Each structure stands twice: as C-alpha cells, then as structure tokens.
Amino acid sequence: MNDRKLRQALINLPDNAQESIVDNIFVPEFLSALGFKLMECVPAYGTGNGNEAVDYALRHNTDDDIFIQTKSNPYVLLELKGKDINLSEGSAQYHSTFKQLKGYLLASNCKTSQWGIMTNAVHLQLFRKHGKVIHPATPCLSITPDNLIKIVKDIKQKLDNLPRALTVAIYNNKGGVGKTTTTVNLAAALTLKEKKTLIVDFDPNQQDLTKSLAIKPGKETLYSWLEGKNKEVNDRDVIQSFISKNKTTNQSFQIDVIPADEHLANLGEDELRKTLKIFRLRQILDNLKSEYDYILIDSPPNWRFFSVSAIYASDVVLIPTKHNNIFSLENAAIAIKQYIPQVQQARKDGSPIALPIFFNGESITDAGRNTAHKEINSIIKEAQKDKFDLLPYFYPKYTRAKKDLHIFELPSYAHIANAAFSRVPAAYKDKTARNYYLELAKEYFLQ
Ligand SMILES: Nc1ncnc2c1ncn2[C@@H]1O[C@H](COP(=O)(O)OP(=O)(O)OP(=O)(O)O)[C@@H](O)[C@H]1O
Ligand SMILES: [Mg+2]
C-alpha cells in the first residue's frame, strides 16, 4: 500500500518540479517509507552554524524523547533540491549540494548525525558519517518509478543497521613514505581516545607492522581465514593483542592486531587471486565491524593482490606522502584518479574514497614547501585535462574566496623512527610523538 503511494508520488511530480513541490508531494511518502513517523521529522532543522538549516532532520523517538519536541540528537539529515537542480554525479550542483550537506553533518547541533541523504527526486545519494569522515554509502543513484521501492528499502536497511567501525586503508604505491608507522601510531592515538582499534598487517612480504610490535602468530593463520574453507576459525585464534601499560597511571591500552601471515608471502599473484579472492578481506573485516571503532589496514607499496584487497575492504584511504618526493605525490594522484575509482566500480556503493593527503616525516622548510606546492599545482592541472578534480584531495580547505593551501604535516621526529626498535609505538612512549599522532587523529577522524 505504502509502496504504491511512494511510487505514485514520484510519478505525480511534474517535470522540473521545484523544491517546494518535491517537498509537498514526494518527501512525506519518502520519509514514511524510510520508517520515520511525522513526530520523528523536523523540517528546516537549525544546524547550529549561524542561521543555516537543513531541510529535514530525522530521528526515532524514545519513550521520553519525542524528536519534534526536543529536537536533540538527529540521526539522519536530508538535503532536498528541486528537479530543476542537476544532482547527477560530477555536476557543479552535485558538488555544491554535497558541500552543503557535509557542512550540516559537521555542524554543532548535528554531531550525533550518522547519515546524510541528498535528493531531488531524480537522483539520490546516501552518505555515512563516522566522526569527521563522510563517505558514500551508495553511489549517486538515478531514481525511477521502477527502481524506487528497492532503493528506498536498501537505504532503510542501511539506516537500521549502522556499522560501528570505520575501515581505513593506509596506502601509497611509493615505498617508505610512512604507511606502517602511521598505521601503528594512529592506532595508538585512537586507543588513547578510548576508541577500540584493530590493525591489519596486509603486507606479508615485509611484515613490518607485526615485527614492530613483536606480535607472534596466533593459533590460526590469516591464510586459513582468507581461504574460508575452515568454517571453525575463531576470530580470537587469529587476532592478537598488543597491550601497553603506563606504569605511572597504571592505565593500560590495547591495540588488536591481525598479524602478517608468512604463508601468504610465498604465493604468486595468480594463485592469490584465484584461491583467495580480492573481496575476502572485506568480508572478514565486515564481520568484525561491530566490535571496533576503527579498523586500520597497512598495505604494501604496489598495486597487487594485498593492496587491492586492502582498498577494496576500506571505507576511506589515508595516503601518506613526502613533500620532497615527487613520486610519492604523483602516486597519490594515481591512486585517487585511477586505482580507487576502479575499486569503486567493482564495489558499487560509491566507496572507498581518498582522504586528503598529508606530508609525513620530513623537516619542511619554506622553500621546500613552495617547491612541493608547485609540483602539486602541475599534478592538479594535469588531472584537469582528464576532467578529474584533484584539488579537494590536496587542498581540502581551498575555496575561491579563501585560497587556503593547508596540507597536514606530521613532522619528522627521531623517537618515531627509533620506537620500532623497542617494539612499542612512539605514540605510547613519547609525549611529543603522542601529540603529533593525536593531531593527525583529530585532523582526519575525531569530531
Ligand atoms: N614521522 C616520522 N619521523 C621519523 N621517522 C619516520 C616518520 N615516519 C616514518 N618514519 C621512518 O621512515 C621509515 C619508513 O617508514 P615506514 O616503514 O612506516 O614506511 P612504509 O611506507 O610503510 O614503507 P614500505 O613501503 O616499505 O612498507 C621507517 O624507518 C620509519 O621509522
Ligand atoms: Mg610498510
């Protein structure tokens, strides 16, 4: 019955219907199909950022908290447009609407929001918010009377099953840029903020992460888990824990680790792809998402089985670069323009997406920084020829009005490099290192 009404509402919309018409005819049926009752939808919700209001905020009521009365703790934000606005992916209005929705999701009254929807009743896209990160949960979908019911059901299913963890692949095709060091220390910083964190060593040829924490293999191997033949594999037989105890405060911090598996290093690329499949890591980690706040995957410096699997398994990709290494910057651009879109095509949910790059572990002089900016400008210009906009991935704060060329810098610091020898992450051992990685965690992840 409701399905019929929803479909009919879409059919009834005139061509070029303006926002108010889409709002009157389509939105009530759409919100109801998503499972929200009238008292659970607040129109023109004040985001807390000046006078800005998002078209709708939604949240299920509890016994003593009626959303339309308390207007507190929204769960979903909906930004609505008319059919006269072009929301097809890549259009200028798509980008500006996404920017608008992103601003709302991060605004002070909307901290609890976990999902954002933008639609004009022609296109529709769902985004998930986790801390500061906003990433697609569907591609930008074209809605028609024939696919509408299924699309809305799929979205409702996602809204009703919020995943706990954000999965982050740490990747750059260039070697030695600090992928493993970032994985270990970012994990440590997140645990200091009481985030339950799992790290995966998916670089079996080097196993640097496993070695840097002196983690021993578990009873079961990652290989048998990936192979999936032995259904009895228990998570706890593969996952090991690294525990750091602060002797002064007596507090202890734990990072869970899926250690590298030597057996994987001996297999050729063809054998890996045939017997283990690129999507297996994702299936395994999806099953662990409810147990962690963050899952970080360390990947090798190439574009073969392990890196492809790591990117395939991730919601977002964090790309360390070196400001003085042109290849690390060019390779970041290749990952963003080419590799990540390949995986998006295969995944069909719009993710993963790249987070803006950062400069890792070199002392940066003004002259060095200027040279890096020149290189980046030419990389951005080159990509524009292929109609790819790299600007937000290099300069996330750049706007036409405010030409902010901010790129996050994680300084070079001897204790960070030396910590691997003592088998304890620098972020646990050393205050300066701790602050560097807490800054990184705040810049990208923590709200
Ligand atoms: N911020 C930093 N300050 C000082 N040294 C650093 C920093 N980050 C990384 N390093 C050092 O740089 C070297 C390379 O780092 P790391 O092994 O993390 O890079 P990687 O990208 O994982 O390398 P690979 O591509 O070989 O896997 C290591 O010796 C590490 O200790
Ligand atoms: Mg490494």
Q: Please report, for the chain, the start and end positions of each structural domain, with discontinuous segments joined by +.
A: 2-160, 166-444
DSSP-derived pairing of the beta strands 320-321 and 240-245 = unpaired
Q: Which ligand is nearest to the CA of 177?
A: 1
For residue 386, give the 3-state DSSP assignment. Answer: coil
For residue 57, give the 3-state DSSP assignment. Answer: strand
Distances (CA, A) of 289 to 21, 76, 187, 397: 40, 21, 15, 30
Element (H or E) spanning 419, and its range? helix 414-422
**What is the pLDDT, as a whole number, of residue 299?**
97
Q: What does the alpha-carbon distance between residue 430 and residue 189 come to, in Å, rounded to a whole number?
A: 12
**What is the pLDDT, as a whole number, of residue 1?**
56
**What is the pLDDT, as a whole number, of residue 429?**
93
The ligand 1 atom at the shortest distance from the C-alpha of residue 412 is 3
Candidates 353, 359, 351; CA nearest to 389 is 353
Amino acid at 232: E
197 within 8 A of 191, measured Cβ to Cβ: yes
The ligand 1 atom at the shortest distance from the C-alpha of residue 203 is 27
Q: Which ligand is nearest to the CA of 420?
A: 1
DSSP-derived pairing of the beta strands 358-360 and 320-321 = parallel
C-alpha of residue 64 to centroid of ligand 1, in Å: 52
Task: Write the residue with the smallest CA distance to atom 16 of ligand 1.
Answer: 178
Task: Write the residue with the smallest CA distance to atom 1 of ligand 1.
Answer: 361
Q: How many CB atoms lie within 10 A of CB 80?
A: 22
Candidates 143, 119, 131, 2; CA nearest to 56 is 119
**What is the pLDDT, as a whole number, of residue 229?**
73
Rg for the chain, CA atoms, rounded: 23
C-alpha of residue 10 to centroid of ligand 1, in Å: 54
Q: Which residues lie with the beta carbon below 6 Å from any ligand 1 atom?
A: 175-181, 203, 206, 208, 300-301, 360-361, 410, 412-413, 416-417, 420
C-alpha of residue 420 to centroid of ligand 1, in Å: 10
Q: What does the alpha-carbon distance between residue 87 and residue 359 come to, in Å, rounded to a whole number?
A: 34
Q: Is the preceding omega at residue 341 within 30 degrees of 0, hence cis?
A: no
C-alpha of residue 418 to centroid of ligand 2, in Å: 15
**Is 3.40.50.150 the CATH number for 2-160?**
no
C-alpha of residue 61 to centroid of ligand 1, in Å: 49
**What is the pLDDT, as a whole number, of residue 230?**
65
- Please tell me what DSSP assigns to residue 278: T
User: Residue holding tokens 């070079």?
Assistant: 412
Mean pLDDT, 10 residues at a time, the chain of 447 residues: 91 96 98 97 97 97 96 98 96 96 98 98 98 98 97 98 98 97 98 98 97 92 84 84 90 96 92 92 95 98 97 98 96 98 96 98 91 96 94 94 95 92 94 97 97
Q: Which ligand is nearest to the CA of 182?
A: 1
162 within 8 A of 156, measured Cβ to Cβ: no
The ligand 1 atom at the shortest distance from the C-alpha of residue 320 is 21
Question: Ligand 1 test: best mutation among 181, 209, 322, most atoms within 8 Å of CB?
Answer: 181
- Please tell me what DSSP assigns to residue 64: T
Q: What does the alpha-carbon distance between residue 388 and residue 87 come to, in Å, rounded to a whole number?
A: 18
For residue 222, give the 3-state DSSP assignment. Answer: helix
The residues, any chain, with a CB within 8 Å of residue 246's CB and separated by 6 or more, are 252, 253, 428
Distances (CA, A) of 300 to 169, 220, 289, 308, 312: 11, 23, 23, 10, 14
Question: Ligand 1 test: best mutation among 171, 172, 173, 180, most atoms within 8 Å of CB?
Answer: 180
Q: What does the alpha-carbon distance between residue 394 and residue 407 come to, in Å, rounded to a whole number?
A: 7
Q: Which ligand is nearest to the CA of 410?
A: 1
C-alpha of residue 262 to centroid of ligand 1, in Å: 21
**What is the pLDDT, as a whole number, of residue 312?**
98
Q: Which ligand is nearest to the CA of 362?
A: 1
Q: What does the alpha-carbon distance between residue 178 and residue 274 come to, in Å, rounded to a whole number?
A: 30
Task: Write the residue with the smallest CA distance to atom 11 of ligand 1.
Answer: 417
Q: Which two tokens stand for residue 353?
A: 């997406």
C-alpha of residue 299 to centroid of ligand 1, in Å: 13
**What is the pLDDT, as a whole number, of residue 231?**
67
The domain defined by 166-444 folds into Rossmann fold (3.40.50)
Q: What does the alpha-carbon distance between residue 298 and residue 282 come to, in Å, rounded to a whole number?
A: 14
Task: Write the residue with the smallest CA distance to atom 14 of ligand 1.
Answer: 176
Instruction: Rounding to the nearest 10 degrees, give the CA dihedral for residues 85, 394, 133, 100.
Output: -30
For residue 117, give the 3-state DSSP assignment. Answer: strand
Task: Write the residue with the smallest CA distance to atom 31 of ligand 1.
Answer: 417
Q: Which two tokens stand for residue 362?
A: 């070199």
